[in-house]
Amino acid sequence: MIKGITAVRQTGAAAAFDKLASFFSVLGFEQGKDWNEEQSRGRAFLAPLGNLEFIDGVPPSNADVFIEVTSLDSVREVADRWIAQNAAEGRITDTANTDWKSRMFTVEPVPGVAFSFWEWIDPLKGKPVAIEGDLVATGMRFAIVVARWNAVITDRLLQGSLDAFYRSGAKKEDVEIIRVPGAWEIPSAARKLAESGKFDAIVTLGVLLRGETAHYEAIYNEVSRGIGQSQQETGVPHAFGVLTCETLEQALDRAGLKAGNKGFEAASAAIEMVSLHRKIGAKA
């Protein structure tokens, strides 16, 4: 299964490497893993989405890397300021409309190395304007409450949640993991964490299997009620990642085997809800 695309660009000179690393750092990219070996050194910059396109015809610019942004004018200000301060030989084109309903400019931080930045003119494609959360976790703090019972499942859910947070820009020190004995104990821990005021959202992870307990419905009802009540009374978003399955095989499927990873989905929901709360608060 394809996981991602990495574009590797050789700079050819140490000075060009340093300038490109500086340029992309100020634009707000998440920094990936650097390396410094005897034969080469590198610096990685990460984006939430990536794709590979082939063109049959005239290319829209001399760049072979196109970076979609949500505020082109703000990126343009940063790029202009960086070039003025760091690269007298750098070039930047005017921002112009394209024939594919977008705005774009191209910048060469060092001669011969070009990048095009663009945004849609109508990103909503004519749809009504709605307030929605973004999947950008930078600057957010999260707690993950995960049950130890059925660890073969909950550990998979935990890894899915961490993957979603780190992919979306959260720092490791901003994600705290709290382990509880089982699903029954999740609401109590989640409530305590929410009341602490230290976290923007709580992710709850556990699993209940009908075949393992005769009072399956009673436990599930109380766990879901407790998590929902904690969210409503504290105002802190709680993402629900407690699986309720008939069998172990069903739980494994929902923990990344066949039906996606519900831990990843819960963390993504938590990020989006924090973003949404902030946007609503900003408009109030």
Q: Is 202 in contact with 194 (CB distance < 8 Å)?
A: yes
Catalytic residue among 215, 235, 281, 282: 215
Range 34-43 burial, b when 16+ CB lie within 10 A, else e: eeeeeeeebb
Residues 6+ apart with CB under 8 A from 188: 180, 226
Angle at 41 between CA 38 and CA 43, to 5 degrees: 160
For this structure, is 238 an active site residue?
Answer: no
Long-range CB pairs of 60-63 (<8 Å, 24+ gap) are 60/98, 60/100, 60/104, 60/116, 61/93, 61/104, 61/106, 61/114, 61/116, 62/106, 62/114, 63/106, 63/114, 63/115, 63/116
- Paired tokens of 89: 């030989």
- Among all residues, which ones are annotated catalytic? 215
